[in-house]
């Protein structure tokens, strides 16, 4: 039976470590790190993600600045904002929330952000630095996968690693990170022959292909570490990963679940399902859906449909736990 590794617990540990480091800077009279986030338009999901980033900064003691621009913003106006932040010595990191409204070129924006402030790790220079084993920013999900491996006590050196998926956001960079730590790496994709056989040779298997429960027990070597990056909905609408958790868990040595595995699962987002400490008087369900995010959070009872709104601080006191993350691809 595999040891289940919860990303939410790792996230708490990392935030505690960051808080301690930033506290030491403050005690030494140093300037606090600052993240600038650009949000164009009023997409509710994007606003929710940005709110989560602001909350994370506050939790660890960082400063943050949100630059909200209307959906009518031109490419030239957006580029001017990026250049201003590039030149601001008080700003250490810049993040432009994607996707951008129709008509704006995100690739041009990514290339305009200074590489040493590109916290998403999307700038071509940072992509190149990753391949050259030079210091630079790395996309968060691949880096999170490596952090999970390290905290499992798994050293990739000499291990056979298989990455399912070759996207520029996850598959390709996580393969490079594994190679940089001296793993023997195979990248699999839609044209790979004998896929299950190739995967079953892996000591480390990372699934990032976007197909619900594709990885079954026959894909997995006895005792392997399995990291599931996939976010999918099954026929019943339930959030599931690329890995068939029920069949793989008895065979793997380590495994991450979906939800609560890879990703900052301690953040609450629009359409997440939560359990509150106190059950609703209808007694039809103990679960609630987040239907509004901001300074106030509104939740809807999944039993009777009644809605209640709290200040964010009160919501966090009364929330017992996160049950299911919303599918951010919707």
Strands (E), the chain: 3-4, 34-40, 63-69, 93-96, 160-164, 184-188, 204-207, 225-228, 232-233, 239-240, 254-255, 273-276, 287-292, 296-301, 307-311, 319-324
Note if the bond before 51 is cis, omega within 30 degrees. Answer: no
Would you call 53 a catalytic residue per the annotation? yes
Q: Which residues contact 208 (CB under 8 A, 6 or more apart)?
A: 141, 163, 164, 165, 167, 170, 171, 174, 229, 230, 242
Displacement of CA 105 from its chain's centroid (Å): 23
Q: Which residue has the tokens 């964010």?
A: 312
Would you call 133 a catalytic residue per the annotation? no
Catalytic residue among 97, 203, 260, 272: 97
CA pair distance 151, 155, nearest whole angstrom: 10
Inter-residue contact 236 to 265 (CB < 8 Å): no
Catalytic residue among 120, 228, 242, 272: 120
Catalytic residue among 53, 117, 289, 325: 53
Q: Which residues contact 10 (CB under 8 A, 6 or more apart)?
A: 147, 148, 151
- β-strand 160-164 against 204-207: which pairing, if any? parallel
Tokens representing residue 43 in the block: 């997409």
Tokens representing residue 265 in the block: 């699962």
Task: Identify any residues that bridge with 330 across adjacent strands, giving them in sequence order.
Answer: none
Tokens representing residue 98 in the block: 């994607």
Would you call 120 a catalytic residue per the annotation? yes
Inter-residue contact 250 to 1 (CB < 8 Å): yes
Catalytic sites, residue numbers: 53, 97, 120
């Amino acid at each position: 039976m595999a040891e289940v590794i919860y990303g939410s617990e790792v996230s708490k540990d990392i935030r505690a470590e960051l808080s301690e480091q930033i506290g030491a800077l403050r005690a030494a009279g140093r300037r606090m790190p600052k993240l600038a986030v650009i949000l164009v338009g009023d997409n509710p999901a994007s606003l929710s993600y940005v709110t989560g980033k602001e909350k994370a900064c506050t939790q660890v003691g960082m400063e943050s600045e949100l630059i909200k621009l209307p959906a009518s913003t031109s490419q030239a106006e957006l580029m001017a904002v990026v250049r201003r932040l590039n030149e601001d010595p008080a700003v250490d990191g810049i993040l432009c929330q994607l996707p951008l409204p129709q008509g704006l070129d995100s690739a041009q924006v990514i290339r305009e952000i200074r590489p040493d402030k590109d916290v998403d790790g999307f700038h071509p220079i940072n992509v190149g630095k990753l391949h050259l084993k030079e210091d630079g920013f790395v996309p968060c999900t691949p880096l999170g996968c490596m952090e999970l491996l390290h905290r499992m006590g798994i050293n990739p050196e000499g291990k056979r690693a298989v990455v399912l998926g070759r996207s520029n956001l996850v598959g390709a960079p996580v393969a490079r990170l594994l190679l940089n730590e001296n793993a023997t790496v195979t990248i699999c994709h839609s044209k790979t022959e004998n896929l299950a056989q190739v995967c079953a040779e892996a000591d480390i298997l990372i699934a990032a292909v976007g197909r619900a429960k594709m990885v079954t027990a026959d894909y997995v070597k006895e005792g392997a570490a399995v990291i599931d990056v996939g976010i999918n909905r099954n026929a019943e609408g339930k959030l599931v990963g690329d890995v068939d958790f029920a069949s793989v868990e008895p065979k793997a040595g380590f495994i991450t679940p979906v939800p609560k595995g890879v990703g900052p699962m301690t953040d609450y987002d629009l359409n997440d399902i939560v359990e509150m400490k106190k059950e609703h008087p209808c007694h039809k369900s103990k679960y609630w859906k987040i239907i509004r995010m901001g300074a106030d959070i509104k939740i809807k009872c999944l039993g009777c449909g009644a809605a209640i709104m709290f200040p964010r601080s009160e919501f966090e006191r009364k929330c017992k736990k996160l049950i299911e993350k919303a599918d951010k691809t919707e």
